[in-house]
A and B are shown apart, each in its own frame.
Chain A
Amino acid sequence: MMKKILVVILIIFSPFSIFAHKLNIFAYYEDGKINVESFFSDGTPCKNCEIEIFSDNNSLIFSGNLDKKGEITINKKLNQNIKIKVKASMGHESVFYLKVKKSKKTKIIANNKPKIAIKQIDQKNLLQQIRIIVREELEKQLKPIILQIAKIQGNLTEKIVSAIGYIFGIFGLIVILKKGR
């Protein structure tokens, strides 16, 4: 019977314990620089953790270490999607897929009039360019908020599990007090 109870407890709490040490990665590409930040679910940075970056065809294009803040900025021009892998101690690792938008050249159509070249930009292309710029700006602006949410979510699960532990602990004390009488 005790063995059964132990197995049930292990099954119930095993996903939580894995999640409790979840390693988060946040990355974005801007002005020829790859910015990476990695932290654990409780918000502590992944200090000096190993980082590897792979190209689309899975070949290693960068290998190094994060700094004390769990961050790194790599000067590298990208024209393809990349895979970022961060390794922490005790077998914890996480993967982040960074999509890189390929820059598209604006079509310039000149008319036949001599000397005056009027640049006409294809309307569809212009809209696409605006979309890319807005998306990139939004990603930059939202970065701290996304990081904060990720940190809060990580904390939430841990806190709930620890609170359940406290509840059982408090009732354990009640058991001791009742038994003592």
Chain B
Amino acid sequence: MHIAEGVLPAKILISGGVISACFTAYGLKKLKYKEIPKVAILSGLFFIGSFIHIPLGPTSVHLILNSIVGIFAGWASFPAIMIALFLQAIMFGFGGITTLGVNTFNMAFPSILAYFFFYNFAIKRKSNKFLFSLSLFLTGAGSVAFSAFLLSFSLFLAGQKFYEVAKIAFIAHIPVMIIEGIIVLFMITYILKVYPELLEKERG
């Protein structure tokens, strides 16, 4: 889900860069001193996630795991994801430096939205098992879906010729949505059972 260099026009690159820089600064400001090691681990997790490929017909898609970063890091997911994407760009050529802002926004913003809407809803409805599980699943799946939507939208803004590519990119990520939904569901359910303080601290 990394947009490469030379695909997007300058106005989108600059807008994405400015928006992401503002959110990253805000995320760093809100980042508590004690939470820094946890956010560093999440950044590493996000970095590794991109190397876990799922074969899908003639192509393959990779895990994104942005929802997990969003749940644990909150607003700090912007700096966490930006650092991971920056290293992926300079060391592996995934994405690029000019597209760093757009790519960061496409990954981090949905993770925060999924955290605020689906995850918080799941915690409020903890007594209702069905609603709780569904909301957790949607935290993972929704985060990827919204990222795919933003990716498609970015490509669509770049010109009509990208429309078909964008549509394919969105459809190709449906398996990732399902997989990440399941990962979040099991992961959060388990953490709530064994170490709920880890999540409660974040919400505070």
Contacts and interface: CB of A to CB of B under 8 A. Distances in A.
Contact of A168 (B44, B51, B79): B44
Interface in A159-181: 159-160, 162-164, 166-168, 170-171, 174-175, 178-179
18 contacts: A159-B92, A160-B51, A162-B91, A163-B91, A164-B48, A167-B43, A167-B47, A167-B87, A168-B40, A168-B44, A170-B40, A170-B83, A171-B43, A174-B31, A174-B36, A175-B36, A178-B31, A178-B36
A170 B24 CA distance: 14
Interface residues of B, number: 19
A178 B34 CA distance: 10
A77 to B, nearest CB: 43
Contacts, number: 42
Contact of A163 (B31, B37, B79, B87): B87
Contacts of B28: 174
Given A159-B92, A167-B84, A178-B36, 19 more contacts: A156-B51, A159-B91, A160-B47, A160-B48, A163-B88, A163-B91, A164-B48, A166-B87, A167-B87, A168-B40, A171-B36, A171-B37, A171-B39, A171-B43, A174-B31, A174-B79, A178-B31, A178-B33, A179-B33
Contacts of A179: 33
A interface majority secondary structure: helix
A163 B93 CA distance: 13
Contact of B44 (A167, A174, A178): A167
Nearest to A168: B40
A175 B35 CA distance: 10
A4 B33 CA distance: 23
A168 B117 CA distance: 30
Contacts of B40: 167-168, 170-171
Contacts of B36: 171, 174-175, 178
Contacts of A170: 40, 83
A160 B40 CA distance: 15
Interface string B118-135: 000000000000000000
Contacts of B33: 175, 178-179
Contacts of A164: 44, 47-48
Among all A-B residue pairs, the 3 with the closest Cβ atoms: A171-B40, A163-B87, A164-B44
A178 B76 CA distance: 14
Contacts of A163: 47, 87-88, 91
A125 B115 CA distance: 67
A154 to B, nearest CB: 14
B86 to A, nearest CB: 9
Nearest to A159: B91
Contacts of B44: 164, 167-168
Contacts of A160: 47-48, 51
B42 to A, nearest CB: 10
Nearest to A171: B40
Contacts of B91: 159, 162-163
Nearest to A181: B33
